[in-house]
Amino acid sequence: MPGRTACLLAFLLGWSSPFTEAADAPPDTVEIVASKRTFAPETVTLRLGRPAILIIRNEDEDLHAFVPLLLFQRTNVQVRGNGAPEFNETGFARVLIPPHGKAELRFIPKTSGTFFYICDLPGHNMRAEIVVQ
């Protein structure tokens, strides 16, 4: 039973996969503020494979949407706060955040790169980026 021996050896030596270790790590918490129809900061950075909590606060009197482009494809996202999340066949699609509301997204980034997100409400033209490295 070589597989079993290898498992036992790994256990005895305290090995674990880097991904498992990272998934157990305390989450990276990042806050984005929507104010005066602008997302700030323009760029936030998350680490690949590390649990992340993305908090989006709406400080305006307007409703805003947080619409990630590609970042959450095939990624499990837990949504908290008082926003209204929407899902489609690829998973999390967007969350509408009421005036002075907050949405909190918990997930583990699975792909590195630069991912834009927008507010797709008419005339808002709000865009910023999330870098996963």
Q: Which of 50, 102, 110, 124 binds Cu ion (CB under 5 A)?
A: 124
CB of 93 to Cu ion, least distance (A): 16
CB of 49 to Cu ion, least distance (A): 31
| Size, binding site for Cu ion by CB under 5 A | 5
> Site residues for Cu ion, window 3-62 (CB under 5 A)?
none
Nearer to Cu ion, 22 or 121 (CB): 121
CB of 124 to Cu ion, least distance (A): 4
Nearer to Cu ion, 110 or 127 (CB): 127
Cα Rg of the chain (Å, integer): 18
Nearer to Cu ion, 44 or 56 (CB): 56
> Site residues for Cu ion, window 53-72 (CB under 5 A)?
64
Let me know the angle formed at the C-alpha of 65 by 106 and 42, rounded to the nearest 5 degrees. 75
Using CB under 5 A as the criterion, which residues of the chain lie in contact with Cu ion when the complex forms? 64, 119, 121, 124, 126
